[in-house]
Amino acid sequence: MQHLPPEALALCALGEAGPEDTAHLDNCTECAAEVSALQRVVTAGRTPPVPEGLPRPPSSVWESIHDRLGLGEAVRADPFGAAPSDEAVQASSLSDKNAETGTAPSPPPVQSSPSGATPVPLDAVRKRRERRRLPQVLGAAAAAVVLAAAGIWSISRILTDRSEVIAAVELAPLPAYSERGRAEVDQRSDGGRELVVTASGSDAQGFREVWLIAPDVQRMVSLGTMEGTEGRFTIPANLDLDEYPIVDISDEPFDGNPTHSGDSILRGVLDL
């Protein structure tokens, strides 16, 4: 089966699949899995991050900054604390002015309020809110940049690592063995080929070795040893699979002999 090209998979993940692509995805589990993985990246990239509130620093932090920079009394109050009242702002301004002119301080004017409460200056409240929102805005922007970069990298990695199965076979156990397995030949996007072998267990007395064997069962090429239930082996570029279509997993003793032991566990012929 011919799989969808990378650009078609990306369009399907973005919700722009054509009728033919949709029909192909209904019948191809591999391409459907690729699109599902890409859709998770697209969803993550389109979801706006939720900014988290930052803790308010203690007043001692601003006091240290104020003293270190030699700031005036007009900005003595902690900007992350309660907003200063009109009287405090006016008193601070008068204090600075009197200090410059050398005159005695005068009492601040008394303003009445219908409710008896001191009105809060709107400019001070607005500036304080802007100062509080700035770290959240910057944090949200940084998170969006990181998320977008991660999404682009993930899509690029998925499309780069995409491979196509060009041959496969179910591996059958030989007498005295009961394992089951499968072998696939993957054509990688970089042009290389890889043999992916799976086996249900390990009945070997020694170690398992994976071979490609010619139909005459005389010529054979070892691809390496297999550990666990899956192994991936690079197929030499100059090896013609038409000449070596048999996949064989053998039980090899620890005797230092590199040739086939003659004891095969699983075997199958690739459908090329």
| pLDDT tens string 55-102 | 778 888 888 887 888 888 887 888 777 544 455 555 555 555 555 555
Higher pLDDT, 256 or 147: 256
pLDDT at 100: 57
Query: In which band, very low, low, confident or very high, does the pLDDT at 114 lie, cut at 50, 70 and 90?
Result: very low
Higher pLDDT, 41 or 157: 41
Tell whether the model's pLDDT for residue 241 goes beyond 60.
yes
137 DSSP assignment = H
- Mean pLDDT is lowest, of 74-83, 143-152, 174-183, for 143-152
**214 Cβ contact list (under 8 Å, min separation 6):** 220, 243, 244, 246
Q: Which of 264, 108, 96 is nearest to 174 (CA)?
A: 264
Q: Are residues 142 and 176 in the same domain?
A: no
Query: In which band, very low, low, confident or very high, does the pLDDT at 8 lie, cut at 50, 70 and 90?
Result: confident
Phi then psi for residue 209, to 5 deg, are: -125, 140
Q: Which of 36-45, 171-180, 200-209 has the highest mean pLDDT?
A: 171-180
pLDDT in tens, 130-142: 555 555 555 555 5
- Out of 117, 152, 187, a domain closes at 152
pLDDT at 196: 95
Q: Are residues 252 and 172 in the same domain?
A: yes
Q: Are residues 236 and 168 in the same domain?
A: yes
Q: Are residues 181 and 254 in the same domain?
A: yes
Structural domains in the chain (count): 2
Helix locations, 28-85, DSSP H: 29-46, 59-69
Q: Which of 201, 186, 215 is nearest to 249 (CA)?
A: 201
State the Cα–Cα distance between residues 173 and 268, nearest whole angstrom: 9
- Out of 103, 126, 152, a domain closes at 152
Position 199 in a domain: yes
Q: Which of 14-28, 84-98, 163-177 has the highest mean pLDDT?
A: 163-177
Length of the chain: 272
Tell whether the model's pLDDT for residue 103 goes beyond 90.
no
Position 37 in a domain: no
Q: Are residues 222 and 145 in the same domain?
A: no
Q: Which of 34-38, 67-71, 173-177 has the highest mean pLDDT?
A: 173-177
Q: Are residues 147 and 176 in the same domain?
A: no
Q: What is the CATH number of the domain that holds 227?
A: 2.60.40
The strand ranges marked E within 124-180 are 163-173
User: Is the Cβ–Cβ distance between 182 and 168 less than 8 Å?
Assistant: yes
Position 45 in a domain: no
Q: Are residues 215 and 261 in the same domain?
A: yes
Mean predicted confidence (pLDDT) in 28-52: 77
Q: Are residues 169 and 264 in the same domain?
A: yes
Token digits for 72?
A: 């005036």
pTM, two decimals, is 0.44
Q: Are residues 136 and 70 in the same domain?
A: yes
Query: In which band, very low, low, confident or very high, does the pLDDT at 116 lie, cut at 50, 70 and 90?
Result: very low
Q: Which of 143, 182, 180 is nearest to 165 (CA)?
A: 182
pLDDT at 113: 45
The strand ranges marked E within the chain are 163-173, 181-188, 193-199, 207-213, 220-226, 230-235, 246-252, 264-269
Domain that holds residue 251: 164-269
Q: What is the mean pLDDT of the chain?
A: 77
Position 101 in a domain: yes
Position 191 in a domain: yes
Q: Are residues 257 and 170 in the same domain?
A: yes
Percent of the chain whose pLDDT exceeds 70: 67
Q: Are residues 177 and 265 in the same domain?
A: yes
Q: Which of 251, 188, 248 is nearest to 223 (CA)?
A: 248
pLDDT at 176: 84
Greatest CA separation for the chain: 113
Position 217 in a domain: yes
Tell whether the model's pLDDT for residue 184 goes beyond 80.
yes
Q: Are residues 136 and 171 in the same domain?
A: no
- Out of 152, 178, 204, a domain closes at 152
Position 68 in a domain: yes
Position 49 in a domain: no
